[in-house]
Amino acid sequence: MSDAGEGLVDAEARLQEQMDAREHDRKRRGPKVEDPEKHRATESLKLARADMERQLELTAHPIRKEQIAAALKEIDKKLASM
Domain extents in the chain: 1-31, 33-82
Fill in the DSSP letter of residue 12.
H
Structure confidence at residue 53 (pLDDT):
96
In this prediction the pTM is 0.59
Residue 65 burial (CB < 10 Å; 0-12/13-18/19+)?
A: middle
Integer Rg of the chain from CA? 26
Q: Which residues of the chain have pLDDT under 70?
A: 1-9, 30-33
Q: Mean pLDDT across the chain, nearest whole number? A: 85
Structure confidence at residue 79 (pLDDT):
94
Residues 6+ apart with CB under 8 A from 48: 75
Structure confidence at residue 25 (pLDDT):
77
